[in-house]
Amino acid sequence: MQYRTLGRTGIKVSPYALGALMFATSVGNPDPEDSARIIHRALDAGINLIDTADAYRDSEEIVGRALKGRRDSVVLATKVSMPMGDDPNQRGASRRWIVTAVENSLRRLRTDHIDLYQIHRPDPTTDIEETLSALSDLIRGGKVRAIGTSTMPASDIVEAQWAAERRGLERFHTEQPPYSLLNRGIEREVLPTAQRYGMGTLVWGPLGQGLLTGRVRKGGPNELRRAGFFQHLNDDRRLDAVEQFISLAEESGLPLTHLAMAFTIAHPGVTSAIIGPRTMSHLEDLLAGTDVALTDDILDRIDEIVPPGTDIGTLDQAYLPPALQHPRLRRRPTDERTAA
């Protein structure tokens, strides 16, 4: 592994990071012991960054048990802010919730500190200074080493950096956005902004949440598509692009997964790409492509299929700002419209 520096933290991380969502027994691998073997195999191969979240069901507990005796050699990342119950205060990025949630994560992970603590999704209801103040206290108290965000719009990244400087608070060191052959929207603003502020970038969904594995083909049988588990698996625009990438991979003598992963880590603004293997065979396939480097000719062909800065459809877990979710935020009250 050729390790990279995580932003300006000085922390060295592998270009592949191990995502732990698929270790949750209710949504991924039902066997915690098998998940532990996958974690150990990834560590043995040189992957030293593991990314999980409190919202990933029992993933934190499984990761914590698997790291017994190996914790010091791992850069351990987790996330906070997604709903953890029906209580409206068991979510978000308020100080009240953060100071409680971090203790819960530390207990589940069986550790006394978290190397990278990230805000899982933006929380428009909480002042960013409130969030940064709470996270700064965690760093000063030794419970957290560095802080980051996930799927934060570029304008919010800038606001957070300015707030940290204005208040003398710890600033966000990393951002975790979606990025793949199919979703290149972050090339337009998010990646340049992160680079400008010296932030590390850990990208998720490098395999398009399954579309870039080659197992989902247009017009072909697929249980996930029939069951309707993921809407993006039924998006013809994405499937058309996948077919072109399959042809390009075959011409290049590469498995599609290796083409997809090599693309994401080729961008100078990307520190690591998060892989989410559910089985040992999935992991072995991805490990076999860690040394793949794409030529300029291949990268040019990729640009022709999906132009830089372009998203072909959206991922099911992508962040939507409130104004795009709620019509009332885009429309004046009826009486004002009538008066006009």
Task: Determine whether 223 is exposed, middle or buried from the number of CB atoms within 10 Å of its CB (0-12, 13-18, 19+).
Answer: exposed
Q: Where are the alpha helices (DSSP H) in 168-279?
A: 190-196, 223-227, 236-252, 256-266
Under a CB-based contact definition with an 8 Å cutoff, are residues 110 and 67 in contact? yes
Task: Determine whether 83 is exposed, middle or buried from the number of CB atoms within 10 Å of its CB (0-12, 13-18, 19+).
Answer: exposed
What is the sign of the dihedral through the CA atoms of 224, 257, 22 and 178? negative
Residues 6+ apart with CB under 8 A from 80: 53, 54, 93, 97, 98, 101, 102, 105, 117, 118, 119, 120
Q: pTM of the predicted model, to two decimals? A: 0.93
The encoded tokens of residue 124 equal 């428009």
Return the domain boundaries, the chain. 4-339
Under a CB-based contact definition with an 8 Å cutoff, are residues 10 and 115 in contact? no
pLDDT tens across the length of the chain (340 residues): 799 999 999 999 999 999 999 999 999 999 999 999 999 999 999 999 999 999 999 999 999 999 999 999 999 999 999 999 999 999 999 999 999 999 999 999 999 999 999 999 999 999 999 999 999 999 999 999 999 999 999 999 999 999 999 999 999 999 999 999 999 999 999 999 999 999 999 999 999 989 999 888 877 656 444 444 455 566 889 999 999 999 999 999 999 999 999 999 999 999 999 999 999 999 999 999 999 999 999 999 999 999 999 999 877 777 888 888 888 888 888 766 566 5
Under a CB-based contact definition with an 8 Å cutoff, are residues 138 and 102 in contact? yes
Q: Is 56 a catalytic residue?
A: yes
Q: What is the C-alpha separation between 153 and 176, in angstroms, rounded?
A: 11
Q: What is the C-alpha separation between 267 and 308, in angstroms, rounded?
A: 11
CA 122 to chain centre: 13
Q: Which of 16, 56, 117, 179 is catalytic?
A: 56
Which CATH fold topology does 4-339 show?
A: TIM Barrel (3.20.20)
Under a CB-based contact definition with an 8 Å cutoff, are residues 224 and 210 in contact? yes
The encoded tokens of residue 331 equal 């429309």
**Element (H or E) spanning 17, and its range?**
strand 16-19
**Element (H or E) spanning 18, and its range?**
strand 16-19
Number of Cβ within a 10 Å radius of residue 82: 17
Under a CB-based contact definition with an 8 Å cutoff, are residues 103 and 133 in contact? no
Task: Give, in order, the Cα–Cα distances in Å from 157 to each of 154, 272, 294, 312.
Answer: 5, 19, 30, 24
